[in-house]
Chain A
Amino acid sequence: MPGIDFEDTHGSEPCMLFDGNNDRAIMAHYLNGTKVFELLADGFIYTTSGWKYRYAVVNVGDIAADSTLKYPLLRCKHNVTITNVYMGTDTTAAASGTNYTTVSIYNSGIGTGTALSTLTNASTAFTLKEDRAFASLNSTVAALAAGDTLYMSIAGTGDGAALSGVTVCIAYTIDQAIPACSTAQAEDNLFRYMAGASGTDGLVESDHLVKDHMVMRRKGVEYSRININGVHTGIAPDQYYYHVLNFGDITDSDTTKKCTLFKPHCTVQIEHIYFGQSGTAAADADTNYLNVLIRHDSDETLVENSIHGPYNIAESMTAGYLYDMGEVSKLYGRMVSGETLEVQFLTPGTATTVTDLTIVVCYRKLD
C-alpha cells in the first residue's frame, strides 16, 4: 500500500497543493539514512543520482602553438558548480618537456589569478580521440556564478605545441541553496514514513484522468507544477537548460551561411542567448561590423546583436567572455519539436572577422 494514495478523486484543482510562506521543503527521501532526493519549495529537485549532471561540450577547433586566444566555454542564468572537465583532440600532440602547451580554465568572476585546473602535454601526450580529465578542480573557481563566464586560456612553453580539433566537455550541476530549515530541521515533518512497512507501491501515489497531480506555490504564487501527463514545469533554476556552440571564425563571406544552433525534442521557451568570441572586439565601426541574428528556420528573428560596432550601440567584448544578446522574443522564442534554430549573419560593410563565435542557448522545457 502507498503511504499517501489518491485515486480518481473529484474536482479539477491539482490533487496536491503545497503553498508555504517559508522555505521548508515539500518532500525528502532518505535511503539507508542518506538523503538522496528532496523536492524543494519552488519545485527544484535535489538528488544524488545522475539526474543532477548537465553537460556543455565545446569544440574550440584548432589551437595554434603560439595562441593567445581565450575561448568561452559556459555561462548560465543561475549559479552552477563545475564538477568535471575533460578535453580531447582529433590528432595526437606528442609529449614534450621543451615545447608544450598549457591549457588553463578560468572563471571570469574570479579572474586569472587562480585556474580551475590545467592540462599540458609536457609529460603526457594529448592522444587523438582520447579524453584527459582536468584534475583537482579548485572549488572556489568551480563555483560559477550567474552571469559569469567559464573560459579557457592557452600558454605555450618553448615553441608551444599546436593542438588540433580540441573539444572540451564540462559536467556541472545547477546550484540551489537548499533552505537551511529543511536540512537543519530534517525531522520536523507533517508526515514521516519509517522503513519497515512492506510493499512495492510508491510511497506517494496519484492516479487521475484529467486533474494535475501537484502544484507548488509560495505565498500564493505558482513556482512549479506536475501536470496530469507527468510533465514537471516551473521557474526553479534546474528548469533551465543550456547548449554551447563554437562556430569558428566568422568572416565577411559567411553571410550566406545558416549555422544550425538548436533542435528541441519537445516544446521549449528560449529564455536567453549569450554570445562571445575568443578575441577582443571594440565597438568602433559604423559599417564594418557583423550583425548576428538568431532565427527560426522559418526566418523569424528571436534576437539580434552586433560585434565590432556600431558605435554607441554594440558592446565591446573581452576575449573569452559571454554577453547577453538582449531580450528574446517571447512569441518566436516558443519552439515546438521539429522546428530548428539557426544563426545568420549580415553586415552593412565589410565585416571584421569574429574569432570563434560562441553562442549559448538557454531554454526551458514546456511539455
Chain B
Amino acid sequence: MAHPKSNFNCINIPGAGPIIRSDQGETNRATADVINLQKDNSEVFSVNYNGLPDPGGGGAKRQIMICLGDIVADSDALEYYLCTFVVAVTLTNIYIAVDADTEDGSTNKQTLLFQTDDDTQVASYTTPAENPGLDGATWTTVGDLDSSAVAATVSLEMLPTKVSSGLDLSNLTILIEYNPTA
C-alpha cells in the first residue's frame, strides 16, 4: 500500500522495538520536549521530557462529576469531602447544577465554599437573588477561582452555609474541571 504524500512513511518497517527511541536527561537536552507539533509556528501538541502530553483541543482538560444529593436549607453543620488528587493538577473551573428549581432565592440563599484540605479557598459561590434561586437542570459556574494549583494527595472540600434561612438544593451536582500538570 502506497502513501506517497506523507513525508515520513513508516509502513511495515522490519523490527520489533519502538520505531523511534530517545534517551535524554543525562547531559544535554534535559528539559527539551520529546514531541512538539505546531500549527503556523504555535504549539498545538507536545510531550515534555517527563512524558506528560499536552494535546490540543479538549484533550488536556479532564472532568470530575460528583452528585452530592439533596442539600437542605440549613446544612451549616455539614462539610463535604469531594475528591483527592493523586498527582498535582491545575483547576480550571467548577460548575454546579440541581435537578429541580429551588425556592425563591431573593432573600434566602446558600453559599458554597470550595477549599483544599489546608483551608485554602478555591472558590466561594452564593446563589443569586432571583426567583427561583437556581433553575433546575442548568449548569452554573461558581466564577473565577481564587486558587487553582492543587498539589499531589491534596483533597478538595465543600462547605455549605445558609444566608438568611438558606435554600434547599435538590440533588446538587458538582463538575470540577482540571488539567494534569505533573
- Using a CB–CB distance below 8 Å, which chain A residues touch chain B? 2-4, 6, 9, 11-22, 24-33, 36-38, 45, 47-51, 53-55, 57-59, 61, 83-84, 86-91, 128-131, 133, 164-165, 167, 169, 171, 181-182, 184-209, 213-215, 220, 226-232, 241, 243-248, 256-260, 262-267, 297, 337, 340, 342, 365, 367
Q: Across the interface, do B137 and A258 meet the contact criterion of CB distance under 8 Å?
A: yes
Q: Does B148 contact A (CB under 8 A)?
A: no
Between B1, B6, B51, B66, the greatest number of chain A beta carbons within 10 A of the residue's beta carbon is seen for: B51
Listed A/B pairs (30) with beta-carbon separation below 8 Å: A3-B22, A14-B6, A17-B11, A18-B10, A27-B35, A28-B20, A29-B34, A29-B47, A29-B51, A31-B49, A33-B23, A50-B180, A55-B83, A131-B81, A169-B83, A182-B16, A185-B15, A199-B32, A202-B32, A203-B24, A203-B33, A207-B37, A226-B37, A248-B67, A256-B100, A257-B170, A258-B137, A259-B99, A263-B97, A367-B58
Q: Is the CB of B8 within 8 A of A188?
A: no
Q: Which residue of B lies closest to A164 (CB)?
A: B78
CA distance A172 to B18 in the complex (A): 26
Answer yes or no: B163 CB below 8 A from chain A CBs.
no
Evaluate contact between B37 and A243: CB separation under 8 angstroms.
no
- Contact flag A129-B88 (CB < 8 Å), given A13-B6, A50-B182, A201-B32: no
Looking at the complex, which one of A58, A189, A227 makes contact with B17 (CB distance below 8 Å)? Answer: A189
The smallest C-beta distance from B56 to any residue of chain A, in angstroms, reads 3
Residues of B within 8 A of A192 (CB): 20-23
Q: Are B21 and A27 in contact (CB under 8 A)?
A: yes
Chain A CB within 8 A of B68 CB:
yes
Beyond contacts A88-B82, A90-B78, A204-B35: 9 other A-B pairs, Cβ-Cβ < 8 A, are: A15-B6, A25-B17, A130-B117, A190-B19, A229-B57, A243-B63, A246-B67, A257-B100, A260-B171
Residue in A83, A257, A267 whose CB lies within 8 Å of B99: A257
Q: Is the CB of B3 within 8 A of A17?
A: yes
B100 touches A213 (CB 8 A): no
A50 & B52 in contact (Cβ 8 Å cutoff): yes
Smallest CB-CB A-B distances: 9 pairs = A88-B81, A230-B56, A266-B58, A202-B36, A230-B44, A50-B87, A37-B51, A230-B45, A188-B17
Chain B residues closer than 8 Å to A205, beta-carbon distance: 35-38
Most B C-beta atoms less than 10 A away, residue of A30, A51, A184, A197? A51
- Complex CA–CA separation, A98 to B110 (angstroms): 38
A32 contacts across to B, CB distance below 8 A: 25-26
CB-CB under 8 A for A26 and B39, given A202-B32, A229-B57: no
A244 to chain B, nearest CB (A): 8
**Nearest-CB distance from A26 to chain B (Å)?**
6
Q: Which residues of B contact A129 (CB under 8 A)?
A: 79-81, 117, 157, 159
Would you call B5 and A20 a contact (CB within 8 A)? no
- CB pair B38–A207 under 8 Å, yes or no, is yes
Given the complex of chains A and B, what is the CA–CA distance between A82 and B163 in angstroms? 40
Contact B17–A181 (Cβ < 8 Å): yes
State whether the Cβ of B64 lies closer than 8 Å to any Cβ in chain A: yes
Chain A residue contacts of B6, Cβ below 8 A: 11, 13-17, 215
Q: Specify which chain B residues have a CB less than 8 angstroms from the CB of A191 in the assembled complex.
A: 19-21
Pick the residue among A6, A47, A256 that contacts B51 (CB under 8 A): A47
Closest to A5 in B: B36
Bound Cα distance A104, B174 (Å): 26
Residues of A within 8 Å of B49, CB to CB, are: 29, 31, 36
**Which residue of chain B has the shortest Cβ distance to A83 in the bound complex?**
B86
The residue on B at minimum CB distance from A338 is B139
CB-nearest residue of chain B to A248: B69
